[in-house]
Amino acid sequence: MENGTFTRQEIFSQPEAWAAALQVLDKTRRNILSLKPHRRYREIIFTGCGSTYYLSMAAAALTQDLTGIAVRAFPASELWLSPRSSYTDGKTLLVAVSRSGETTETLRACEAFLKDKRGTLLTLSCYGDMPLAKMGSLNIVLPSGQERSVAQTRAFSTLYLSIVALACLWARREELYASLSELPEAGTRLLNNYTSLAAELGGDASIDRFYWLGSGPRQGLACELSLKMKEMSLSHSEPFHFMEFRHGPKSMITPSALTLGLLSTVNGQKESAVLKDVKALGGRVLDIAEAGAQVRFESGLDEAVRNVLYLPVGQMIAFERSISKGLNPDRPTNLDTVVKL
Ligand code: F1P
């Protein structure tokens, strides 16, 4: 089988996976609403490991933005091993996210949370027969996110989109929740329109480092895309908040550096100014946005619900670079599908 067979199929089948996940959420919406986070909890905490920790970061920022509830994200290892510097003393809604549902740190963090009676556990995972899917007061299982390759792509975007739906429901934003059904078509357009650009950038051996800039609900997504580039292609890759890039990291800009900006609408001008600075230093730039960028969603959707669209093109660039280096993104070097301790 040729390198990347599974990863390619998983990247290109994301729109169908998203549609299937939204159907699962629709069937679960009464249970989701019955958690009543505004009334019952002092805060919400999202947790996971690796990709699903970065997913938790993105989910926390978006959920707080939409609901007004205090929301934080921690790696599961922090909740497990350093609970006193992680939890507050109030009742917590813990949302544990895991593709496999069997990552040891995530299971230990949830076991300790329940033993210490800190609040209520909600889980999101892709395999209903795995331990995590049996631990929560509510367990949301998304089989369409299941994957055979190690580096998460379809699993990540499907789990992330499911949390966007959760946040819309908790925020009582019915119109935003309803608009999620337009995302699969927007995702298919992106995958079709930018395949050649991704192949061109991924295959460009003159690029030797990647910087991914994203702020607010997009910072966790920038971290995830940077991890994809590392895992799949063994490249030097780092994420930063947009405005943070000027405070030191920009010293690394050379003509061999590609800086990818996940531009928002709300702060697009200030974020574009950072990319302009990068270009002035001789660095290469790729901007990704709803409109007016090299990669354009043109979804017509509200900013709060279209962040998942930043993922496909970044995933494809990492995939293409892996293939062009003769690597196999289905089996990244040194990595296992699940970390079991
Ligand atoms: C978490 C994870 C992945 C990473 C690798 C090892 O898995 O760290 O994020 O890409 O596959 O496992 P999970 O808890 O989401 O299954």
Q: With a 6 A CB cut-off, is 153 part of the ligand 1 pocket?
A: no
Distance of CA 118 from the midpoint of ligand 1 (Å): 25
Q: What percent of the chain has pLDDT over 90?
A: 96
pLDDT at 294 over 90: yes
Give the E-state strand segments of 110-247 in sequence order: 119-125, 138-141, 209-213, 236-240
Confirm whether 5-172 and 183-324 share one CATH topology: yes
Report yes or no: 32 and 25 within 8 Å, Cβ to Cβ. Answer: yes
Which residue has a Cα nearest atom 4 of ligand 1?
50
Give the whole-angstrom CA distance, residue 145 versus residue 42: 31
Q: What percent of the chain has pLDDT over 70?
A: 100
pLDDT at 20 over 90: yes
| Three-state secondary-structure class, residue 290 | coil
pLDDT classification of 338: cutoffs 50, 70, 90: confident
Mutate to test the pocket of ligand 1, among 6, 125, 129, 152 (most ligand atoms within 8 A of CB): 152
pLDDT at 269 over 90: yes
Mutate to test the pocket of ligand 1, among 51, 123, 231 (most ligand atoms within 8 A of CB): 51
Distance of CA 52 from the midpoint of ligand 1 (Å): 7
Task: Tell which residue, 95, 86, 15, 88, has the closest CA to residue 63.
Answer: 95
In the block, tokens 């007016």 appear at: 292
| Average pLDDT taken over every residue of the chain | 97
Q: With a 6 A CB cut-off, is 158 part of the ligand 1 pocket?
A: no
pLDDT at 101: 98
pLDDT at 334 over 90: no
pLDDT at 65: 98
Interval 128-175: pLDDT, tens? 999 999 999 999 999 999 999 999 999 999 999 999 999 999 999 999
Instruction: Give the start-to-end residue ranges of the domains of the chain.
Output: 5-172, 183-324
Please state the rounded mean pLDDT for residues 326-341: 88
Interval 42-90: pLDDT, tens? 999 999 999 999 999 999 999 999 999 999 999 999 999 999 999 998 9
pLDDT at 199 over 90: yes
Give the whole-angstrom CA distance, residue 152 versus residue 315: 10
Measured from the Cα of 97, ligand 1's closest atom is: 15
pLDDT at 78: 98
Which fold, 5-172? Rossmann fold (3.40.50)
At 88, list the tokens. 């507050």
Q: With a 6 A CB cut-off, is 47 part of the ligand 1 pocket?
A: no
Measured from the Cα of 126, ligand 1's closest atom is: 16
Backbone dihedral angles phi then psi of residue 298, each to the nearest 5 degrees: 45, 45
Count the Cβ atoms, other than its own, within 10 Å of residue 241.
Answer: 16
* CATH no., domain 183-324: 3.40.50.10490
